Amino acid sequence: MFSKKSQIIKFEQNHCHADVNDNSVLFVRVSDEVRDKNAMFEIPFTHVGYVIKGGGDGRMYPSGHYDVFDGKKEVKDWKKGFSVEIIYMPKETNVKIKWGTPYKATYRDEASNKVLHVGARGEFGISICNHEQFFRKVVGIRKEFDLNDFKRNFLSEVLNEYTDCFLEVVKKNKLTYDQLQSKKKSIGIEVGKLLSPKFEGTWGISLVGFIIDDFEIDEEETAAVEEAAAEARKQQKLQEYLAELERLDDKQWEREKYLRQLELEDRAAYYELLKVIGHPPVGGAAGGKSDMTPGVASVFCPNCGQPMKGGDIFCPKCGHRVVKEKTICPKCGKSNEGDAMFCASCGTKLK
């Protein structure tokens, strides 16, 4: 393809003291003075090239072989000292960047409503998605590529955006602090999807494989969250028990049965419930002695829970009628309970 006498400007990665196949070198700048009107330049299949002729405006070239001079006029106008500069950029990159948050994100736990400070660390890769923009943002007038300098500058920008993206993912998924570690893979994927577009337009770079290896939360803060969460669960249970008592409002014996069962299953919740409804402790469900004051029967107002004496008909606190009126059988004169449907003596229908 080339004339033996033609000048050929080629890709030379060793300008950066790197192997030709090292894709962690994100650009190589090659300059040469044109000595031949038939001079050509080469862009290897692994790279694209941004070519600047004679110090003027540049143009992006895909892989291939090209004449330095596009037409006869350029050849005619050619003078000694005419230079060609080519910035070679790889199509595929192999750059991994380890990251760690310099400061912790302030995050309010969904379940406990406690504020936590969450740090994180991990790794991500990069891919050049827009070589022309990459040239403008990263290459510029730099003569050589410095991987450490690039990582430092790019990582700083990524971490500036990370916190907002992390908090957005946590809020959207309503994640509690104890879910962060188990869901770190999916969180990393979502955060990466939010971060990448922020750099595709400005840097010409996409983030690839954004990984969160670990989250960091202070032990004192997690202990406070656990305590708050436990209290919240206790209060939720208490509300459920109170709702059940409310449902059994006019069924005194069922209320007492429910309380005795609760004492067996969850004694701590049982005593918390008694505090709320104003009951003194009832005799142990397992048949122990009553904790009530002597002479006071274990009877409570089904409406407000006020302790009552055995013979009381109305609650002294709220006035609720506790003892229902007897129903006299019209046939035999038997005194029946107020809610009886049939006479206990002769079977006559009462209601």
Mean pLDDT of the chain: 82
Q: What's the average model confidence in pLDDT over 200-204?
A: 96
- What per-residue string of b and e applies to 292-306 under the rule 16 or more CB within 10 Å gives b? beeeeebbbbbeebb
Q: How far apart are CA 28 and CA 32, in angstroms?
A: 13
Name which of 5-19, 127-141, 233-247 the model is least confident about: 5-19
Supply the pLDDT for residue 280. Answer: 47
Tokens of 173: 């998924």
Domain positions in the chain? 8-90, 96-217, 230-287, 312-351
What pTM did the predictor assign? Answer: 0.64
Q: How far apart are CA 30 and CA 12, in angstroms?
A: 7
Higher pLDDT, 320 or 202: 202
pLDDT digits (tens, 9 = 90+) for 259-302: 777 777 777 777 777 777 765 444 443 333 334 333 334 466 66
The fold for domain 96-217 equals Tetrahydropterin Synthase; Chain A (3.30.479)
pLDDT digits (tens, 9 = 90+) for 78-98: 777 788 899 999 999 989 999
Query: In terms of Cα–Cα distance, which of 50, 171, 62, 57 is closest to 110?
Result: 171
